[in-house]
A and B are shown apart, each in its own frame.
Chain A
Amino acid sequence: MRSNAVELSEGRIGKFGEKYYAGRPQQVLLRNWLSFKSSAWIAVVSGFFEPVLYLLSFGYGIGELVGNISTPGGDISYAAYIAPGLLATSAMNGAMLDSTWNVFFKLNESRLYKAMLATSLGPLDVALGEIAWALMRGGIYATAFTAVIAGLGLVTSWWALLAIPAAIIVAFGFASFGMAITSFMKSHHQMNFFEIFLLPMFLFSGAFYPLTVFPGWAQAIIKALPLRQAIELVTRAMSGEFGINILVNFTYFMVMICVGLFFTTRRLNALFMK
């Protein structure tokens, strides 16, 4: 039997994005799975506990002082109030961990993408594979977190299951956008930009309290931020609130996904096909 590498690549001629896409992003996923199996799982497991710890400490600690919260759907515990926000945050963190630091390392230190792009793979395969991996991580965190809140009795309806697809959309948006920005970063110092941006966004996006505590202009800024959009998307999905509002949140993430994919592919092409 002979290698059919050439025939396979020639089969792509005339197909969608033939210069940038070989139709094999799953091989990039497979590579990450092989690496994950042997060592990377520790980091992945630790990422799951972060939102759970927030839920337990804030939800039950501060919840004791705050008491029940009245919402349009009736009175709920403080832990139940913050759960959707923490879920959105955990999807974001899962996606961002893979699409920022891990991508930066593969891009600049291990030269992994350079090796991939010396084969018949294209930059879009690499971008899609990496983003799919990151969003799987975000999706797994979201699913596990949903199971935890259901176990704690914080879920009031079956709509809560929609938290999972909502969180996957959130993870996709952050993974795609995160990888695009990372591909332009040149040093570790620049990578700290993500931390500078993510922590305040987490604290001020209204995961722990309603946005109405802020003046109108501040609310407007926060509402434009992706984490606020994510919290709204997850909260609305979990409470079965479908309307124009959730559609806006959904569209926001679709734009984020497309813009991120476009710039990642273009940048990888510029970096490795110069």
Chain B
Amino acid sequence: MNTQLFFQYFVAGVTYGAIYAIVAIGFNIIYNTTGIINFAQGEFVMLGAMTAVTLNNFIPLPVAIILAVIITIIIGALIEILFIRWLVSPSVLRMIIITIGLSIVIREVALHIWGDGIYALPYFTGTALKTLSVGGVFISPQILWVLGICSITVIILNLYFKYTLMGRKMRACASNRSAARLCGINAKNMVTLSFMLSAGIGAIAGCIVSPITYVQYDSGTPLAIKGFTVAIFGGLGNSMAAVVAGLILGILESFSIWLMPTAFKDVISISILLFILFVKPSGIFGNKEALNLKEF
């Protein structure tokens, strides 16, 4: 393989990796405040992209995307309020099954609204044919958008959790829920907020990636699996580690095309997931102490 091709694959890997990282962060936010994995996370990504595509028929692209994100946030909040908020100390098994059920219902509703057609947003700038050439490596402008928006999202989230009152309240809930409640934090509202946040982040991811990968009613689940792989890979609950893990998985997957037919691309990432789960379920950046506190 020549260097040029190597970098071409590398860029593709980084792009997908950034998306996986964003989805993983969505998982982590909800996991941190509730201790549950939202199996419907991938559906937020699909909903965001689908809504933006539909809205884009009537209004300009930036407005459509912002509206789509807001709509997805509202859906996220509704889901939490309707299905999760009022449960009294539900078991993990129950939560898993509820969120799986939700993901199926959302997917089927999407199928009946949008049909099984394949949609895509237009490129944010330029067209699919226009590429920038950096040292012989062709980069689509959309890739720059993906990378840019992903990094901005991660930075803003970091600042939000560190410096705003709301963010700190959410972190307090994550580290100790009862203590947070004793300090006067409404833990239930924080859970709703975390669902809204992760729905919004999912929708952003869906919007920016849809020009490249296209979107269909069932494109949420594979993304959710990858996102979960990344979240585990980095250590569940650790958002910054998810970014690194996301990039690693994206690049691994991109290079795996050399070894195997594309049809088996998912097999690679899921095998990585299984491997990590078997060998080091705390993730590459997780430590032993955290492992003991968590329920595997």
Partners in one complex: no
Binding site for B on A (CB under 8 A): none
Binding site for A on B (CB under 8 A): none
